[in-house]
Amino acid sequence: MVSNISLQVLECGVTAMDFEMVAVGHPDKNASKHLSCGHPRLREGQIAHPVYAYIIEHSGGRILVDTGFSDTAKRDWKNNYYTDAMDYEPGDNGLFSQRLEQHGLKPKDFDDVIITHLHTDHAGNLPKFATTDARILLHEEELRGVVNVKGGMLREDLTTLWGVTSPQGFTRKDWACLIPDRATTLYGDMEIYRGIWTVSLPGHTWGSLGVAINLPHTGWVLLASDHIYVAATWGEPFVGNILNQDPSAWAQSAMKCRRLQEKYNMLIFPGHDNKIIVPDKDEPFKLEDIRASYD
């Protein structure tokens, strides 16, 4: 255990998302009525789906995990697909860059930026960090995936319908700054600072990463990102959704999360939920409200 690590949670607004889609991938409400959901409803059938970034303070450096939606996302989205499927509402001063300012921080103040995956709600402000000295860490397979599949010649807002084999949610504008040599790619589980590990969780995207942190008081937490999309994803069995590119890889990675949780008694932070999953001595787990900071 390291005595000087802390974790701060930045909630960077919400998107309106279809609950059946993010939780079960099926439009029939009967399929999801047994699933718990703490999200307020934004409009009929849609939940307020928070977007998170995280700051880890460590004696070795200050680390940012994810960069939220681009501050200009709404203006940049040329195709109304995004606004229809996941309308972004930053709320009062909830843009990612406003959240950084509220912490008295600028992009140049970070030593490392870990991108859990390159979906536009996680990598939206990457270009601001590409011009700093920060090390930008992401999974080798993630970068390979966007470059090979999205390529350099497609329009930035390439959009079709959601689909398992047609990966959506990647915006070239977010990640083009990494090409050809601005990223430090990882193959999977690596301890990047004492007590801070990247965890390979492929399935939601080609190279989704979680981040495991051994906090002095809280113990181990796993920022599972969209691998565990919402708290309702976690259960016996796990509940996948159609946002996962590769369902069988996702299932393997979900079991990895379970083994990590059992071995290290980890708190699991879903990608888009205001509840976290906490191991419990009487029940398999319980849900707790997410807090602004952990140490």
Residue 131 or 166 with smaller CB distance to Zn ion: 166
Minimal distance, residue 52 CB to Zn ion, in Å: 9
Residue 214 or 241 with smaller CB distance to Zn ion: 241
Minimal distance, residue 121 CB to Zn ion, in Å: 4
Residue 68 or 127 with smaller CB distance to Zn ion: 68
Q: Among candidates 215, 217, 222, 218, which has minimal Cα distance to 189?
A: 222
Residue 124 or 271 with smaller CB distance to Zn ion: 271
Residue 121 or 174 with smaller CB distance to Zn ion: 121
Minimal distance, residue 169 CB to Zn ion, in Å: 8
> 3-class SS at 258?
helix
Residue 174 or 226 with smaller CB distance to Zn ion: 226
In the chain, the N- to C-terminal Cα span, in Å, equals: 12
Chain position carrying tokens 């870990």: 114
Minimal distance, residue 108 CB to Zn ion, in Å: 26
* Binding interface with Zn ion (CB under 5 A): 121, 226, 271
> Distance between CA atoms of 191 and 213, rounded to whole angstroms?
10
| Both structure tokens of 15 | 């998107």
Minimal distance, residue 117 CB to Zn ion, in Å: 8
| Both structure tokens of 33 | 């009525």
Q: Among candidates 269, 293, 129, 170, which has minimal Cα distance to 210?
A: 269
DSSP E strand boundaries for the chain:
6-18, 41-43, 46-58, 61-65, 88-89, 112-114, 135-139, 184-186, 190-193, 196-200, 209-215, 219-225, 267-270, 275-279, 285-289, 293-294
Output DSSP code: residue 119. Answer: B
Residue 168 or 200 with smaller CB distance to Zn ion: 168
* Tally of CB atoms within 10 A around 163: 11
Minimal distance, residue 15 CB to Zn ion, in Å: 8
Query: Do residues 11 and 100 touch, judged by C-beta distance below 8 A?
Result: no
Minimal distance, residue 66 CB to Zn ion, in Å: 9
